[in-house]
Amino acid sequence: MILVIQILVLFLSTSCLLKDESPIETRSESLNLIQSGDIIVSNTGNDSILLLDPDGGLKEVLVDSPTDATLILNGMTYDATTGSILYLNDSTTATLDAVKSISLTDGSVSTYLSNSNLNGVLPGLTRLTNGNLLIIEGTTAAEAFSSGKIRQGAPFISTLINAAADIQALSTGGFVVCSSGTANTVRTYNAAGVVQSTATSAVPTPSLGALAATACIQDANGRIIVAYSGATDAIRVYSSTALTTVVWTYTDANVLATPAKIALRPNGNILVVDQGFNHIVELTPDGTFVDLLGGAALATPVNLVVVP
């Protein structure tokens, strides 16, 4: 009889507790689901893209792919040309590789670009000021597509950088690339695809040792912000695209263990997703810690975008 009662209690407990999660906020379409300042995060842990409010609260699941070890959602960017979020649907099945678009009006997802040359690993994409969409292809090359989706070059750059991890447009028309290799980890290019400058985590000083760069982005002041990961995990800011002077370096192993991509808030604050802690670290433009965001909603986050 005691055994029977124990089983009953177990049944009741699991029934009550297992699904005790907070509901996700839904919105009527007329209220504009995605708003300025919202944060969009891609998760590789559950193959999803989530919409968070500016405080990091979960608003909506925008993309919910069946969990598939072969799908990676590394590349994501805000695209002013289409007024949407573009992300790379990077699958080991080459025919499924595509650039997809998330509407900022209602969150609906559609295929923006599908091209047989996008068949390798696709870690990043960005829209250059000349209108070309630049996509890292196979970690070493860059494919470019015009705003009319016409392929430029064959490819645009064949030896971009070794083990490319991120690519972001520069205000001057070029772009910055970073690498998960440990040599020449950050490079800036002009719009024609010619290398302008190079840095590693060791040079210029102060040296961080040999680290991989997982993300790089230019802020409104023309500075280059880079996330480094390895023996030390750090966010480092260079004063300009010349990459010759370090302005500051932020490290704190208690909150930043495996930094992935970076995004910038309208007020200049820096957001970094951390895959180890499954949260977003917010820093001020001068490198002061502000807050942790995202919390329980994130599952191995890899990229994020702040809606302008």
Partner 1 sequence: MKRALLCLLLLTFSSSVSAVVYVGGNYGIATYGAEPLDKYRVHPKGYGYGGFLGIGKDFVGLEGFYQSLPTKGEIKHDGGSHDITTNATAVGAALRFGFQSFYLRLGIASYDVRQSLSITDEASQEAATEIYEVQEKVRKNGVLFGGGLHGKLSENFRYIIDYSRYQITGVGEYDTVSVGLSFNLPERFLSLGKY
Q: Which residues bind partner 1 (CB under 8 A)?
A: 1, 4, 7-8, 11-12, 15-16, 19-31, 61, 64
Closer residue to partner 1 (CB): 14 or 171:
14
Closer residue to partner 1 (CB): 62 or 136:
62
**Cβ of residue 296: shortest distance to partner 1, in angstroms?**
11
End-to-end CA distance of the chain: 63
The angle formed by the CA atoms of residues 100, 282 and 63, to the nearest 5 degrees, is 25
**Cβ of residue 230: shortest distance to partner 1, in angstroms?**
36
Of 62, 153, 135, nearest to 102 by C-alpha is 62
Closer residue to partner 1 (CB): 72 or 102:
102
Residue for token digits 């957001």? 271
H or E segment to which residue 43 belongs? strand 39-43
**Cβ of residue 143: shortest distance to partner 1, in angstroms?**
35
Closer residue to partner 1 (CB): 1 or 194:
1
Closer residue to partner 1 (CB): 30 or 95:
30
Bridge partner residues of 89 (DSSP) = 98
36 CB burial (10 A radius; 0-12, 13-18, 19+): exposed
Residue for token digits 């102060």? 206
**Cβ of residue 29: shortest distance to partner 1, in angstroms?**
7
**Cβ of residue 17: shortest distance to partner 1, in angstroms?**
11
